[in-house]
Amino acid sequence: MVKQLLRLKLRLLGNAFRRSPWQLVGLLIGLVYGLSIAFLVVTSLIGLRLATVSIATTGVTVFGSLLVLGFIVVPLVFGVDDVMDPRKFSLYGLPNNKLATSLVITALIGVPALVVGVIGLAQIVTWSRGPLAVLLAVIGAPAILATCVLSARVFTSIAAFLLSSRRSRDATGLFGLILLIVITPVFLLLLNVNWQRDGLTILGRISNILEWTPLGAVWAAPADAAAGNPGTAILKELIALAFVALLWAAWRYLVATMLVTQQRAAEAKSYRGLGLFRLGSATISGVVAERSFTYWLRDARYQVSLLIIPIIPFFLMIPLIIVGLPGNVLALLPVPVMALFLGWTIHNDVAYDSTAIWLHVATGLRGRSDRFGRVIPVLAVGVPLIVVASLICAPLYGDEGLLPALIGVGLGLLFTGLGLSSVMSARFPYPAVRPGDSPFAAPQAVGSASALIQGFSFLITFVLASPTLYLAYLSLTVPRSSGWGALAVGAGLGGLLLWGGIVWGGHIFDKRSPEILAFTVRN
């Protein structure tokens, strides 16, 4: 059975390389990225061999605990498309124990397992400081790999099995998002710490706690042996092995339960009336806009985007605070960042429609009307948000005269981003989360060129909006320079780019509508 499932896993991985050249590029980028991270971590672990035992213990334990925690949290919060879900084998009458063992072995094939395996071997070099330390590190290497792989399998299955309904998945994802918001002040407090003076002491205290938990025990056991505490080292190794045994028992129980439990059916919702369609315009673009408004109000994928956009500026402030950027300068960040991401939200809107796009194709809807209708909801939310945020941020900066420039930058980035998104969504759609799936789940067609398309969209938006950004910079740095020029150029040039993007994107939509429909059916 193990041989057959390994062959199946390799075939699934091989098929991912055959779908399209873009997906091949995406897979190769992911592989290079994972191996690059592994190289940096391995180099650091080897370098810690020359550090003192206390410093090495702190670094290895904190990093290792975060690594294990990632294999636990990511499947629960963001969701993972499990191609080897145990329920897919429920009709074959396979023994539970053999299937559980085989699925764990197949999980070893992949970039995450490869990276963790290499890191587990590298920590042996870190603790080559005595016979017992080396022995515990050698035992810990497979224990680290087993802990991460079993954690991923267990919590991926929990997310797929217990959180199978859309409401529960969305609630879990939103809980994770709220958790990020709550812990943001903690990060800000940590950033105020003088790390050169107190950083090692604080990390040492954190390490002292983590090394007695299942997250860090396997990493800290060789450290205690190297420090001359064999009893403590063996006790922590036993904690780590007991955690592996617990994960294995939980995995076997999950497999046995999932094989005989019917998958939950989604609850049907009933809606009455025409909703926004009763209130809006009867024009073609108006109907498309009403449909888009309905998505933004009811679809969790769009709701999560709206929730994330106000949070992004605060996360971008963290590295800027580290480098010592003044607080009043940071007040200029929220408006352009929110405008940029608002304009970017519909750059893959066609893929979000999924097969429902056939309504637009079958009725002969003009592409220009489709493009214009989709930007109306974003404009209705984005323009007031930019004005209100500018009214707040300009006084925080300390110069209310900067208000026109700030509004001009926001409108310029928003209009430019929407115009570019109108073109990109028609010309370069890529696989997205399907309707009804969790907004935090990864799309099934992994390895696509989504990262390249997203990065290209951001870059071109900045280039096209550069005249507005330059005028805003002049109003900020040159005395007696007015920000009204930035407002005029931002609104005027941005409006032209928005209209041009709608016209060009509409032409592409008209020309490629059969290909777009085929794409949505295939993905």
H or E stretch including 197?
Answer: none
Structure tokens at 431: 């696989």
Residue 418 predicted with pLDDT over 90: yes
User: Helix 111-126 and helix 21-47: axis angle, to 10°?
Assistant: 10
Structure tokens at 212: 């007695």
Residue 15 predicted with pLDDT over 80: no
* pLDDT bucket at 30, cuts 50 / 70 / 90: low
Structure tokens at 199: 């950083």
Residue range 256-283: mean pLDDT, rounded: 59
Q: What is the pLDDT of residue 386?
A: 92
pLDDT higher at 441 or 490? 490
Distance (Å, whole) CA 64 – CA 143? 12
Helices (H), 197-311: 200-210, 217-226, 230-259, 276-279, 284-298, 300-308
Residue 258 predicted with pLDDT over 80: no
Query: How many other β-carbons are positioned within 10 Å of the β-carbon of residue 15?
Result: 9
**Which of 9-23, 400-414, 473-487 is the most confident on average?**
400-414
Q: Of all residues in the chain, what percent carry a pLDDT higher than 90? A: 13
Q: Is the pTM of this model over 0.75?
A: no
What are 320-368's pLDDT values in tens digits? Answer: 766 667 767 788 888 999 999 998 888 888 888 888 888 888 888 888 9
pLDDT higher at 196 or 238? 238
What are 466-475's pLDDT values in tens digits? Answer: 999 998 888 8
Residue 21 predicted with pLDDT over 80: no
CA 267 vs. chain centroid, Å, equals 27
Q: How far is CA 419 from CA 343, 378, 499, 501, in A?
A: 8, 12, 7, 4
Residue 447 predicted with pLDDT over 50: no
C-alpha angle 240/241/245, rounded to 5°?
A: 120
Residue range 492-498: mean pLDDT, rounded: 93
Q: What is the pLDDT of residue 448?
A: 47
Q: How far is CA 365 from CA 43, 359, 371, 505, 510, in A?
A: 57, 8, 11, 13, 8
Distance (Å, whole) CA 280 – CA 289? 9
Residue range 247-257: mean pLDDT, rounded: 86
Residue 446 predicted with pLDDT over 70: no
H or E stretch including 323?
Answer: none
Sequence-ordered list of residues with C-beta below 8 angstroms from that of 198, at least 6 positions apart, any chain: none
Residue 184 predicted with pLDDT over 60: no
Q: What is the pLDDT of residue 105?
A: 83
Q: How far is CA 48 from CA 112, 136, 195, 302, in A?
A: 23, 17, 19, 45
Residue range 241-269: mean pLDDT, rounded: 76
* pLDDT bucket at 419, cuts 50 / 70 / 90: very high
* pLDDT bucket at 384, cuts 50 / 70 / 90: very high
Calculate the average pLDDT of the chain. 78
Of 192-201, 392-401, 492-501, which gets the smallest average pLDDT? 192-201
CA atoms within 13 A on the CB side of 235: 8
Structure tokens at 480: 């007696």
Q: 145: helix, coil or strand?
A: helix
pLDDT higher at 406 or 106? 406
Distance (Å, whole) CA 342 – CA 384? 12
